[in-house]
Amino acid sequence: MSEQTAGHPGAQRKLAVRESSGHADAPAAIEARDFNFYYGDFRALEHISMVAPRHQITALIGPSGAGKSTLLRAMNRMHDETPGTSSEGDLLLDGEDINGIEDLIVLRKRVGMIFQRPNPFPMSIFENVAYGLRLKSQSANKGVIADQVEQALRGAAIWDEVKDKLQQSGLALSGGQQQRLCIARAIAVEPEVLLMDEPCAALDPIATLKIEELMAELEERYTIVIVTHNLQQAGRVADQTVFLSMNPETRAGFVVEAGPTQQIFTNPKDDRTLAYISGRFG
């Protein structure tokens, strides 16, 4: 399905938009200020300014190619492994320059990532979660690790489904369970921010609903930034929404409008947002 068709005519009427549980002026966990990003000579993001407030869910929406994944991936420096990438401007984690953080492992512990395709390690359910914990504190004893694994699996709402088969392969789980296992693995090291790039794109509606319910619980302890091309999903889960679009001349992604989800979906200030939300985009 193309991203444009996600907002078919009438979508606006049918959208269930949540009341934001947080305030737009809560302190920023992640903030971009006039941030530009380049793949070689190609500017993929231009003059991005946005805020992901602490302990809220912020959705990045917009058409395919608008740079949603590029922006999300910059937030934990996934691009470091891609030759030729560069950036200008500020991208901040709790006010600290993300690109200035020396130890990437430390950054990735503070800012975890969940991908579109669940990617459990080819090891047991237990080891999938224990792996990161052992990296974090090599001195922790077995009992402590086991407790923390249980806490993470409970936190990811999958404990009851796996508690009797912790030694089985994580790859033997269903797609939705694998995704919750990946969330357990991510939260085990107690990050501040969880980045999710279309985390439900490969899941069926019931598994998707479970992830959405889980996100609402996780929000109490973590800041979440989610890329979704599913407008209904953004309306259901996000406190804040950032609408990105593409400059038709340069193909660079830019922020058209950002604000509380309720306002973006029901009372957008920019005609281009209204057009996208009501399915008239493109």
**Interacting residues toward ligand ADP by CB under 6 A:** 39, 42, 44, 62, 64-70, 82, 251, 253
Q: DSSP state, 99? A: G
Is 69 or 177 the residue whose CB approaches Mg ion more closely? 69
Give yes or no for residue 69 binding Mg ion (CB under 5 A). yes
Q: CA-CA distance, 266 to 13, in Å (whole number)?
A: 9
In the block, tokens 């996780």 appear at 218
Q: Minimum distance between the CB of residue 145 and ligand ADP, rounded to whole angstroms?
A: 36
- Cα separation of 79 and 82, whole Å? 5
232 half-sphere exposure, CB direction, 13 A CA radius: 14
Which one, 69 or 261, has the nearer CB to Mg ion? 69
Name the closest residue to Mg ion (Cβ): 69
CB atoms within 10 A of CB 79: 19
CB 54 within 8 A of CB 92: no
Stretch that binds Mg ion, among 62-70, 207-215, 243-251, 270-278 (CB under 5 A): 62-70
Stretch binding Mg ion (CB under 5 A), from 12-20, 61-69, 182-190, 266-274: 61-69
**CB burial of residue 173 (10 Å; 0-12, 13-18, 19+):** buried
Least Å distance, CB 281 to Mg ion, is 16
Among residues 69 and 76, whose Cβ is nearest to Mg ion?
69
Nearer to ligand ADP, 67 or 132 (CB): 67
CB of 5 or CB of 82, closer to ligand ADP: 82
State yes or no: residue 245 binds Mg ion (CB under 5 A).
no
Nearest distance from C-beta of residue 242 to ligand ADP, angstroms: 11
Nearest approach, Cβ of residue 44 and ligand ADP (Å): 4
CB 200 within 8 A of CB 121: no
DSSP state of 252: -
Q: Using the rule CB under 5 A, is 261 a contact of Mg ion?
A: no
Structure-token pair, residue 89: 């401007």
Pairing relation of β-strands 223-227 and 240-246? Answer: unpaired
Question: Which does residue 66 touch among ligand ADP, Mg ion, none (CB within 5 to 8 A, set by kind)?
Answer: ligand ADP
Residue whose structure tokens are 């305030």: 23
Q: Please, what is the minimum distance in Å from the beta carbon of residue 248 to ligand ADP?
A: 12
> Which range, of 39-47, 51-59, 64-72, 138-146, touches Mg ion by CB under 5 A?
64-72
**In angstroms, rounded to a whole number, what is the distance separating the alpha carbons of residues 17 and 19?**
7
Structure tokens belonging to residue 69: 């994944």
At 207, list the tokens. Answer: 């598994």
The one of Mg ion, ligand ADP, none whose footprint includes residue 44, by CB under 5 to 8 A per kind, is ligand ADP
Nearest-approach distance from CB 258 to ligand ADP, in angstroms: 15
250 binding partner (options ligand ADP, Mg ion, none; Cβ < 5 to 8 Å by kind): none
Q: How many CB atoms lie under 10 A from the CB of residue 63? A: 20
Binding site for Mg ion (CB under 5 A): 69
